[in-house]
Structure formats: structure tokens, C-alpha cells
Structure 1
């Protein structure tokens, strides 16, 4: 691709050597200093001070555990009616009338959990549902990165994250969804930027560790800008799911991903 991140290694970024991955906070530190083809929501470690900063902005924000996936224990905080609505992925919500009570609720809910606090990216919904675009990068048998494909994940009714498929959520073809949201020129530009973004992330991570599968999740704003929501990599607990692509009407991308995975396993086994 025609985009390369700067040749820069941040010594303050740390790989979890037990699980062999970068948690959400380390991934943010790794990516944030670079000029990339997407935007990253402002993120900080959760503390009384960082909460006060986000509350002062009077805009929605998220609390996320640094080491979970699939939307586990994410909460969305929305300032309203002079207080704050604390909403969980399962739809449960509580109204807290003051910053102090919000802090106590968060300290209780996230006790013994390291978390980040992150601004709400300007996500453009589809049919009044939260969506994101999953981009999958896959390393081939020779070690080169391939753009394996993309799809749209659609959150269920009232879901605060798009990877919770209950109440009518699921996956959809990227071109179909984007074509219902943008004109032809914008769709092509977004698709081009998705590919640039996938390669930019993969090439940058190569400075730190030799991953073989990357799943990056993006939202799109009203102007067609990409916002990075999360980066998932293969680690000792597994890898970004190929099976998401199996849910698409066209199974071609899933079949190609599985075939490439088998091919590289055979090749690397022979080589070793």
C-alpha cells in the first residue's frame, strides 16, 4: 500500500508477555502518536481526575476494561438532566444525580479491574442501530500482510456497542451498508481508507511483535471519517474471529481466510 507509518518505536509501550498482546491502554499509547488514516478517540486511564475531566466536557463517554473483548463490562456514561446515566451492554441503566455518586458507582462496578475512560466517537448509525466496520488483516505463508476483508457489525436494539447481536443485531456486507449511508464517491473513499488503515496498523505493530491476525474495528462519522474503536490481535487466548465472515451471505471471504490459514500452517510446519 502507499501508506507507511513513521519508523518509530515507543519504549513506553509494553507487550503483555504472558498473553502476548497489547491491552487497550497499551494499544492506544502505541497508535496515538502517529499520523494515521483514521482518528482515535481521546483515551485516559480511569481515575478520579480523568473522570472529572470527561464529566466537565458534558459529552457521552465509555469506561472499558483494558483486557476484555466482545464488549464485556463496557459502560456508557451520558450526561443528562443534571446527572449521569450509567448504561451497561445488557441494557441495564442507572441514573446518578452527581459526579460523586457516579464515581462511587464506577469504583464499585470496576473494583479490582484496570480500566480506561474514552470519549464517545461520533458514530453514524445504520437504521438506528450502532454499527462498526471490522477489518481483518491476515499474514500469508511468506510473512506478508494481506487485506483479508471487511464487514459491518450491527448492534442489537438499544445496544451500546455494535458487537452485541441480541435483539436483531448481526453482520452485513460493507458495500451494502455504506451505499445506504453515503454516495458512490464517498463509499469508494471510505473503502480505500479502510484498506490503508488496516495496512498502517499492521505495519506499525510489526515494529513491536510478529502477529499473524489483526481485527480492527472502525466507526464512520457523518463526513465519512474513520474512527478507530479497537484493535484485536491473535494471542494465547485465540484470534480475531474468522467466523464473523461466515455469517455473510457471500462466504467467499471466510473460505479464503480459512484456506490461507491452513496454507500458512502447512508451510510453516514444513519450514520448521
Structure 2
């Protein structure tokens, strides 16, 4: 029996279903932001408790239709990523009618605690960890990188916020974070993949992780392949060293059964050098 939030046509577990699935698992090696279905009472409660709350469509991708609510100096600030528009309301009574009119009940959204995360150069960032299955059907830790939001961005999705991709080690060094944290990410990845294996045969997973001031890791998002696509390979092409990008593409090609002669043509140029552009 498939879990709540499973969309069979897309072969996709939406954000609400993913939250429920992971919340039910034992021995979580990371924090999960408190998440509720968007309703007036749930949103008001979360905003009162955390002062910063993200609004996300349950089936969205690429950062589309995400907005941020903040309780600042007894006023409500509402920022929409796609337009960059920031509206300020003196109280809830003036805020809610305008907000709810742009979030019809026919569209399902979640309200999610904005985790108390560290920033990089005063911009939001997360660490994207990419997992793939190999030809033996085992999960492989394919690589990681950092996505940093563009100036004024509220999310780290590179395309929608005008952000950038940076090597993980550079950001860790700048923030004074120990570089031996990758075992923690692997533990989180193993835990997530075991959970996902109870739902469906996913081929690729992209985890978005954040770190707080106490060095605790938060799992912000889980991205899986579905009928519409999957976690981006192209993010890794934006790194100074594209070796991981080449490895990810090659592993994918072998997994989906692209003939060897075609692999030789497609990957010959990238494999013949040092993996950098």
C-alpha cells in the first residue's frame, strides 16, 4: 500500500507525504523542520512559535511558488521568491485575506518551520547530496556540492534565486565547519534511502541539508526521480572540477542501459581529460 501523498501517474511522493514518511521512521540522524498542511490555524501557530515559516506547494519543484513569512516587530512580512515582492502587514486580520486569496484550497501547500540555519556571506545555502543506484542496484554516494542563494533570495535553488554552485569544502572552510562531516551526510543518506525503499524503486535521490549554529544537521528537502525528471546532474557541471559530473552521467548511462558504443561517443571527450573545464 502506497503512503499518503503518493502520485501514481508521476511516480512521485509529494512534500507532505515525504514529511509523513520520514517522521514515522526511527532513529533519525538529523533534524526535520516542523511541517503542517497549510491552513489558517496551522500557519498562525507555526509563525507564533518560530517567527519564520516557509510556504511550499506539495508538488512543486525548482523553488517555484515558495514564499517566506516572518514575524518582525509585531508585523508580518511576506516575501515571494519568484517575484521578489515583499509585503508588510500590520496584523493578521489584514494579512490573511490577501494571502489566502493567492493560495486557493484547490492547490495544496505545506507550512514549514524555517530552520535556524547558518548562512554563507549572509545568503541562504544548503548542501546537495546526490545518490544513485549502480548496476548492482545498490545506492552509491555520488557527490555533494553547495547551492547558495542569490542576493535577496529566500531559497537556495540556483535558477530561481539567481544563485551559484560552490565546492563544499570551500564553504565548510569559510564557516569553520569540520570537513570530516561527510560521514554524517552518508548516515543521513542511508537512513533516507532505506525509508524510500519501502515506497518505490527510486533511481536517484538528492538531499538538501542545512547546518545550524550548534553544528546540528537539518534535512530540508528530499528530491527523487519521477516521470517529470529527477535531481539535477547539471548542478555538478557548474563546479570548477567536473569529475563528479562525468561520473554521475556515466553511472546513469550504465544504469539505464545506454549501449557501450554510445557511451564511448558521449563520454569520450570528458573522460580523456582531467575532468575540468
| TM-score, with length taken from structure 1 | 0.89
Structure 1 pair 146–75 and aligned structure 2 pair: CA distance change class (3 A): same
Unpaired segments of 5 or more residues in structure 1? 1-9
- Per the TM alignment, residue 266 of structure 1 is displaced from its structure 2 partner at its CA by 1.8
- Per the TM alignment, residue 49 of structure 1 is displaced from its structure 2 partner at its CA by 1.4
Partner of 1:30: 21
CA–CA separation in structure 1 for the residues paired with 2:5 and 2:119: 34
Structure 1 pair 22–45 and aligned structure 2 pair: CA distance change class (3 A): same
Aligned partners of 2:120 and 2:171 also within 8 Å = yes
Partner of 1:5: none
Report the secondary structure of 2:18's partner residue.
helix
Aligned partners of 2:154 and 2:161 also within 8 Å = no
- Per the TM alignment, residue 187 of structure 1 is displaced from its structure 2 partner at its CA by 2.5
| TM-score, with length taken from structure 2 | 0.88
Q: Alignment length, in residue pairs? A: 257
Aligned partners of 2:79 and 2:87 also within 8 Å = yes
2:222 to 215, 231, 238: 231
Matched, 1:93 2:86: yes
Partner of 1:6: none
Aligned pairs for 1:169-248 within 5 A = 169-183=163-177, 186-188=178-180, 190-248=181-239
Matched, 1:50 2:31: no
Report the secondary structure of 2:199's partner residue.
coil
1:123 to 117, 121, 138: 117
CA–CA separation in structure 1 for the residues paired with 2:30 and 2:235: 23
Report the secondary structure of 1:180's partner residue.
helix
Report the secondary structure of 1:259's partner residue.
helix
CA–CA separation in structure 2 for the residues paired with 1:20 and 1:155: 29
Partner of 1:4: none
String of CA shifts for 1:221-260, please: whole Å, max 9, x gaps: 1122111111110000001110000000010110001111
Unpaired segments of 5 or more residues in structure 2? 261-277
Partner of 2:264: none
Runs of 4+ in 1 over 4 A off after TM superposition: 165-168
Partner of 1:107: 100
- Per the TM alignment, residue 55 of structure 1 is displaced from its structure 2 partner at its CA by 3.1
CA–CA separation in structure 2 for the residues paired with 1:75 and 1:267: 40
Partner of 1:3: none
Highest relative contact order (Cα 8 Å, sep 6+), 1 or 2? 1
Report the secondary structure of 2:7's partner residue.
coil
Aligned partners of 1:28 and 1:43 also within 8 Å = yes
Aligned partners of 1:243 and 1:254 also within 8 Å = yes
Report the secondary structure of 1:84's partner residue.
strand
